[in-house]
Amino acid sequence: MLELFIEHKTQQLIYYASRFFRGRMPHTELHLFIWDTLEEWAQFGVRLKTPQSYREQVFWHVLHQLEFWPEQQLMSDDVLRQNIQYCLSYLRGKGAVPLDCIGIRP
């Protein structure tokens, strides 16, 4: 059940983040998606903090990055954007495992 949740939310995360970075979605909508995802996750009541796979680890890392950094930083910091795009590429199944993405479950 948790694996299906992560897979479903990963596809949504890719969609929302990609649209945001292309200027086709306001930051507020991305923010709402993230908080809705965290609210749904809380309903599972998972106590383990360690993700079950690299994919889940990268998912939590990207979610955190998108919520942690202000909109202006996300849009203007080329290194930050490149790192997030690299992670999104992996989540799409088109890139290698990003070794510097350390995500933990909330």
- Over residues 74-103, the pLDDT tens digits come to 999 999 999 999 999 999 999 899 988 889
pLDDT for residue 46: 84
* 93, two tokens: 């199944």
- Over residues 15-70, the pLDDT tens digits come to 999 999 999 999 999 999 999 999 999 998 887 877 789 999 999 999 999 999 99
pLDDT for residue 76: 97
Break the chain into its structural domains and give their ranges: 2-91
Would the pTM of this model clear 0.75, i.e. be above it?
yes
Number of C-beta neighbours around residue 63 at 10 A: 21
Helix (H, G, I), strand (E, B) or coil at 89: helix
